[in-house]
Chains A and B, each alone.
Chain A
Amino acid sequence: AQTVTQSQPEMSVQEAETVTLSCTYDTSESDYYLFWYKQPPSRQMILVIRQEAYKQQNATENRFSVNFQKAAKSFSLKISDSQLGDAAMYFCAYRRHYGGATNKLIFGTGTLLAVQP
């Protein structure tokens, strides 16, 4: 079974600085997707960034980028130029690429990010 581990329950960053959130996962599959989701107090999960395991190039979305290390099964999120609106709970998630089973998301336990003005 696949598992996702986020070892940082809480992180804090100064506004305009850079912060990195860690995520490791375990799977025996070679093709899969990895995601970072943001959950503000409104509770709605918002997709931040997605990485396809077969792509070696790290995904980037504006101020958000990932460091995907497939052999190490590591998938960290870097937020550059942090803004007050980045404060939220961040979840790392795994989804198999395809197959007979439901392509459900498997989430980690989350990292609560605080942004200090």
Chain B
Amino acid sequence: DTGVSQDPRHKITKRGQNVTFRCDPISEHNRLYWYRQTLGQGPEFLTYFQNEAQLEKSRLLSDRFSAERPKGSFSTLEIQRTEQGDSAMYLCASSLIGQGGSDEQYFGPGTRLTVT
């Protein structure tokens, strides 16, 4: 257990439905990342936050994807109008970035999404 939790761990949904995933980072961590991982591939960067500011979102896979981190604590990732190609593991990670620039990320267990 890394201290990063994700909920739910598994989600099965029908095509066209909206889904929302939650990530609770390690409490003192200021950065929070979202990744997507498909079978046989490494994690694919989606977006990240430093405190409550979303520093990069252009690599979210489409405009159906959005993420928030209100108050710089937990974060949510929403996928609207899900498609079968959205089936994947969605990973969250947090880190404490300081002046030195070292970014040691701690990953949650992931949310496995299956779109039928």
Are A and B associated in one complex?
Answer: no
B binding-site residues for A, Cβ under 8 Å:
none
A binding-site residues for B, Cβ under 8 Å:
none
